[in-house]
Structure 1
Amino acid sequence: MCKRMCTKTQFVFIAFWIVLLAQTGSSSAISIEEYFPETGSNLTAVTWAHAVNSRRELEDAVKDKIMMLEADVVLGTLKGGSGDLIPVMAHPPNNTSDLSLDGFLTEVVTYTQKGHRCGIKLDFKTVEVLAPSLTTLQRHEHQINFPVMLNADILPGPVDSTTKPVDADTFLDLCVTLFPTSTLSVGWTTRYGGLIFNGSYSEEHVKAMEEVLKRHQVKQPLTFPVRAGMVANSGITLARLKNNVPNSTFTIWSSDTDAVNVNNLREVILNILGIDRVYVDVPKSLLDKLQLSSSDRQRTSSAAPLASVTAVFVSMVSMILLKFKRRM
């Protein structure tokens, strides 16, 4: 009995130090799968909040236990502030907010220190806000023990999109150099919704993405944000991207007014891309129609008991790490 207990104790002790050393000595990104082990390898189970661009919206998202908080970052002014242009949380054309990027990060760090688990996805609409934002992230880096996604549309996309993309070379260079512990979320501009209800990602779009990533020798984790209505028509093309960029994922998103072939989209998610490679960040009305229910997720359910234990263990280790880092 004693030997058995000692063996278990030794195992926990060794596992603890492996995690400790890995997190304190590694510069790799914190993955959503590892941070939320209760999802198993089913990324469609990850929940998302959109446009968390104010203190109230941030508080509500955390209260609702949303896993990933998506927020927009622009150069603008802080309400009640000095009037200087700084990175603030707002969606163009708005450029004023009661929440700066610095304040947003401070609040999220505080929430996670109190035991609330959440990750963030920062969406950049212009290249001008990128460098000051990454500098702000660097100031908080020693306290960030949660997933960080950096998102931008870096290439022109389907249906002759006229939206100007964020410069791909600048985005990749700065993100790789200044904040390598992030997951890069890189996609295409799109023109879809309303009267435009047909479109797809072409071989040319995929090839252009592969080429720019290869040119910059990107080693960070990658996710490709793709629009639901066009994903439904692009299974074969996106499967090529999946195969050519190992360990990458897709983040399927949609606007409320987008026309979506639900059956096709469901087929692409379940049988072409796979639930272990797809985040689904769409309006609830579309998510309900997709019926990505527990019956579709049985392939990952066997991992749930272990995942629950692991989640508690990871949370405990994270709190210890934060205390350890403050003393350094």
Structure 2
Amino acid sequence: MFSYWKPWRRRFISVFYYLLGIALVLIVCVVLSALQKLDGDRTEDMPGTDGTLRYFRELGLLTGSDAAQLQWWHGVNSRRALAQALSGPCHMIEADVNLRGHGLEEPIMAHPPDTDSDITLKDWLDEVKTSNKGIKLDFKSLEAVSPSLVLLEDMLAEPRRPVWINADILSGPGGTARPVDSQAFLSIVTALPVQTVLSLGWTTGWAAGGQNPGYSWDMVRLMEEKCGRLHHPVTFPVRAALLPQSFAQLSWLLQQSERYSLTVWTGRQDEVPLQDLKLYRKQLDGSRMYLDLPDSLKAELSVVSLEAE
């Protein structure tokens, strides 16, 4: 009788330990996953961390951590454009801030050289507050910054809503426009709440069929010198047409701080090198590379990325 049950007992014990091993592996996997999520949540809660993606994930408007998912609405400088943006599917609303002409120091929504608009920054912000959209305000002149930030105080008090403050503070490849004074601009915006995203770029130019240099080592090193001591998250708006010549420089720049990201944009007439951009998508952390591109270009880039896998 004992000799009959002995093989079955051995089998039972073997199966038991086998199942126990599987259970332990599953438990370890669950614990590690939970710890990774907790670590990610803690990282996103750290001062100086860009909380843009987390904000929209918590609203159920994004999944995962691919910054390319973010949708933008540009040139929202009128009441009509604002109404369209607020009712549209975008996550972020981009607009330009200028001072009204005729000696008035009132911030309005207008892209220079325009100095008049049918909507002031105050009214614009009041409308946006009723939505769950994030905002990106673009400043082409230093004079408009301080009076605008006073109006932004209520929105900046919201700990989660993404607020991006943008200015070109350095001269970049092919740039002919005069940048905003970097020292004066940074001295103002560094007083903003630490969750505010500073979008700091270079003036650029691009010519079809011409020699278009990329972002040089001197340019990225000077930008790091300006931003290295900041405590805010910083995104660098970079022109898509200039990226193929700039991978080494921009990847180096991202390595200097976890606070840094890229926001890829394009001019209307630019030729965007999709085959070259796939290198950025493949090599860089997707959570640190926003694609502020037309939907058609983003779709093509997604196809290119899939084909490369």
Q: Give the TM-score normalised by structure 2.
A: 0.77
TM-superposed deviation, 1:73: 0.5
Aligned-residue offset at 1:295: 5.4
Contact 1:197 1:229 (C-alpha < 8 Å) held by counterparts: no
State whether structure 2 residue 212 is matched by structure 1 residue 198.
Answer: yes
Residue identity in the other structure for 2:70: V
One-letter code of the match for 1:286?
L
Question: Judging changes above 3 Å, is the alpha-carbon distance between structure 1 residues 281 and 197 closer, same or farther for their aligned structure 2 residues?
Answer: farther
Q: 1:171 aligns with which of 166, 177, 185?
A: 185
What residue number does 1:323 align with? Answer: none
Structure-1 residue corresponding to 2:32: none
Match status 1:54 vs 2:78: yes
Select 2:129's aligned residue among 109, 112, 118.
109
Cα 1:143/1:55, change in 2 over 3 Å: farther
- What corresponds to 1:279 in structure 2? 290
Q: Aligned partners of 1:178 and 1:245: how far apart in 2?
A: 20
Percentage identity across paired residues of the two chains: 38
In the alignment, structure 1 residue 72 sits paired with structure 2 residue 96: yes
1:63, 1:293 → 2: CA distance? 31
Aligned Cα root-mean-square deviation (Å): 2.6
**Is the 1:29–1:182 Cα contact (8 Å) retained in structure 2?**
no
From 97, 107, 119, the equivalent of 1:87 is 107
In structure 2, the partner of 1:228 is: 240
The answer to whether the Cα contact below 8 Å between 2:238 and 2:264 also exists between their aligned partners in 1 is yes
How far off is 1:156 after superposition? 0.6
- Map 1:161-310 to 2 at 5 A: 161-194=175-208, 196=210, 198-214=212-228, 217-268=229-280, 270-291=281-302
Query: Equivalent residue of 1:59, what SS?
Result: helix
Question: 1:196–1:58: structure 2 CA closer, same or farther, 3 Å change rule?
Answer: farther
Query: Residues 50-108 of structure 1, C-alpha deviation per residue, up to 9 Å, x if partnerless?
Result: 1111111111112112101011001115xxxx983311111111111111111111111
Q: SS of the residue aligned with 1:158?
A: coil
Match 1:122 to one of 137, 141, 144: 137
Matched, 1:133 2:148: yes
- Decide which structure has the larger Cα Rg and report it: 2
Match of 1:318 in 2: none
Aligned to 1:158: 173
Distance, in Å, in 1 between the alignment partners of 2:95 and 2:203 is: 18
SS in 2 for 1:199: coil
Secondary structure of the residue aligned to 2:129 is helix
Q: Distance in 2 between matches of 1:61 and 1:128?
A: 27
| Inter-CA distance 195–104: structure 2 relative to 1 (3 Å threshold) | farther
Aligned residue identity for 2:164: M
SS at match of 2:80: helix
Does structure 1 retain, via aligned residues, the 8 Å contact 2:213–2:245?
yes
Q: CA deviation at 1:179?
A: 4.5
Residue correspondences, number: 262
Normalised by the length of structure 1, the TM-score is 0.73
Measure how far apart 1:36 and its partner are: 1.3
How far residue 256 of structure 1 moved from its aligned partner, in angstroms, is 1.6
**The residue matched to 2:108 in structure 1 has which SS?**
strand
Distance in 1, matches of 2:279 and 2:305, equals 16
How far apart, in 1, do the equivalents of 2:47 and 2:120 lie?
26
Task: Say if 1:182 and 1:144 are closer, same or farther in 2 by CA, change over 3 A.
Answer: same
Deviation at 1:260, TM superposition (A): 2.1
Closer, same or farther in 2 for the Cα pair 1:245/1:142, shift >3 Å? closer
Q: CA deviation at 1:163?
A: 1.2
* Preserved contact between residue 256 and residue 283 of structure 1 (Cα < 8 Å): no
Moved more, 194-203 or 223-232: 194-203
Moved over 2 A (4+): 26-30, 82-85, 139-145, 178-181, 193-199, 283-289, 291-296
Letter in 2 for 1:190: T
User: Structure 1 residues 238, 143: CA separation in 2 closer, same or farther (over 3 Å shift)?
Assistant: closer
1:26-41 mapped onto 2 (5 Å cutoff): 31-37=51-57, 38-41=62-65
Please state whether the residue corresponding to 2:112 is helix, strand or coil: coil
Distance 1:64 1:74, change over 3 A: same
The answer (yes or no) to whether the contact 2:49–2:259 under 8 Å persists in 1 is: no
For 1:186, give the aligned amino acid: L
CA distance in 1, matches of 2:129, 2:203: 31
In the aligned structure 1, how far is the partner of 2:103 from the partner of 2:226? 37
Structure 1: gaps of 5 or more residues = 1-18, 112-116, 299-328
